[in-house]
Amino acid sequence: MLLIYGNHAAWDRMTEADWAENEAVHGRLIAELKSTGELLEVNELLPEHSRIVRTTKGVPNVTEGAYNESVEFVSGYYLLNCAGINRASEIAGKLAEAEFSLIEVRGTAPEPS
Supply the DSSP symbol for 30. Answer: H
Phi/psi at 61 (nearest 5 deg)?
Answer: -120, 115
Please give the CATH architecture assigned to the domain spanning 2-105: 2-Layer Sandwich (3.30)
pLDDT in tens, 17-73: 999 999 999 999 999 999 999 999 999 988 777 888 889 999 999 887 766 556 778
Q: What is the pTM of this model?
A: 0.83
User: 3-state class of 44 per DSSP?
Assistant: strand
Q: How many CB atoms lie within 10 A of CB 9?
A: 10
Please give the distance of CA 50 from its chain centroid, rounded to a whole number: 15
Is the pLDDT score of 79 beyond 90? yes
Q: Let me know: does 62 contact 52? Beta carbons within 8 Å.
A: yes
